[in-house]
Amino acid sequence: MQQPRISRRRLAGLFVWAGAAHALPACGQAAAAEKRVLVLGAGLAGLSAAWELQQLGYEVTVIEGRDRVGGRVWTLREGLEQGQFAEIGAVRIPDVHERTLDYCEMLGLELDEYKDGEPLYYVDGKRFKHVEGEPWPLEGLNDDELALGLGDYWSREIAATFAEFGDPRMNGFPKPGIVEKYDGMVYADFLRMRGTSETYLKLYAADNGSEISTIGTLAWMGAEVADQAWGKTYHIRGGNDQLPNGLAEKVGLDNILLSSKVTKIEHDDAGVTVTFSGPDGETSLSADYLVCTLPFTTLRDVAIEPEFSPEKMKAIKELFLMNAGRGYIQTRTRFWEQEGIGGLKIAKTDGPAERIWNLSDVQPAGTTMGVIQSYTQNHNADAYCAVAPEEREEFCLAAVEQFFPEIRAEKVAFFHFCWSDDPWSRGAWTDILPDQWWIVAATRKPEGRVVFAGEHTSVWAGWMQGAIESGQRAADEIAAMG
């Protein structure tokens, strides 16, 4: 599937508020060939950094704690009938994520488009469908929200906010005084301050998740502009894990050490040494440079000698990863279609289930069963994940029943996963909390010969695009060092 492309090097400087990416300097292949780089983590950030560095002639070794590559891109196939699958990690590729699409094209991966459709809502205790342009069957929307419609109202608010804050794509963001005024405010409270109704906030959270009650206003605005022109949404045919798997093959499986837990990082002006516990016991490797893509939630457990700068150590200690809990249900049929319900997000609620996502449209051709997932985040995910694993199926089915009373009879298989249970990330994606604007630059700032990548260092936090962008930037930073 051919899509319009924007060169990633052209795009690299777009979001200067998070730190401008380096353009690749001229780097002699012979000089680079004499240099060795260690990469911590074989997710998309680590793999993209490794691949880009190899293209410049660096010798690269990737060290990964898991027994697989991909990190938080992880496709589940075992236990599903008809050769179907579910995505435990990343689900979507927006059409504005050019870096991700470029890699898919390089690897020859085919894309399927998620279909549009009419979702089902369960808000304020009411179960209803909504067709664009028709009145909402809810009380409490203000006059502007009713007159403009929720989409146009949202566009107006974004435009007004850019006028006040400045454009995150330009130098000087945010404008003077904005950090002092808004850095301590969660995004939901910012919308309330601007006159947004509580009913609108419930609908917005039903569509986007309860994250808006946690994330800082400045961080949310940066994320909004990153995907402002988003139109179509894609999935990699056969499973999104084919992207990291294909990239790992490009890097060379012999250059990736799996089941190897990093325990110590030593660094000085001459180079770096990493100690890890692997299948052959404790091992240390030395190199000229290090790319660290470990989530800060796990980097906290790694001994660092000498410690990084005080600002970096504070960021490592305080950076927050949002929790996400998912319950996957394979169904006998796609029964919701009989009610005219479709699309990726087939059901949305202000209750504990949050959203029901439909992966059925991207399943292998000719399959007839359905695959849906209950997708919770933030405090709703914490509540779901606090339930004993053997009780999560009942918890999930009870939540989904408010949308679809037939779910128990339709269920063929059930699977669950909580990202807070994952020892290699301890969370799903990064959220910049109120009073943490300083942390945006701190996460990606190099420390001598150590550079940092991962979705937590990118404007596209939580996306495959963010991991890839950060890995490419890290490679650029090392190349700039020589």
Among positive and negative, which fits the CA dihedral 25, 31, 35, 39? Answer: positive
Beta 450-452 vs 272-278: how paired, if at all? Answer: unpaired
User: Which residue in this structure is represented by tokens 């059930």?
Assistant: 414
Strand ranges (E), 319-410: 320-322, 324-331, 345-349, 355-358, 370-377
Classify residue 457 by its DSSP letter: G
CA distances from 273 to 172, 287, 376, 449 (A): 38, 6, 40, 11
Q: Is 387 annotated as a binding residue?
A: no
DSSP-derived secondary structure for 122-135:
EETTEEEE--TTSP
Residue 340 CA to residue 334 CA, distance in Å, equals 11
Q: Is 91 annotated as a binding residue?
A: yes
Number of residues that make up the chain: 482
Q: Is 262 annotated as a binding residue?
A: yes
Q: Is 440 annotated as a binding residue?
A: no
Residue 436 CA to residue 222 CA, distance in Å, equals 14
Q: Is 92 annotated as a binding residue?
A: yes
Question: Which residue in 451, 70, 458, 3 sits closest to 244, CA to CA?
Answer: 70
Classify residue 417 by its DSSP letter: E
The binding site for FAD consists of 89-92, 262, 455
The binding site for substrate consists of 92, 375
The binding site consists of 89-92, 262, 375, 455
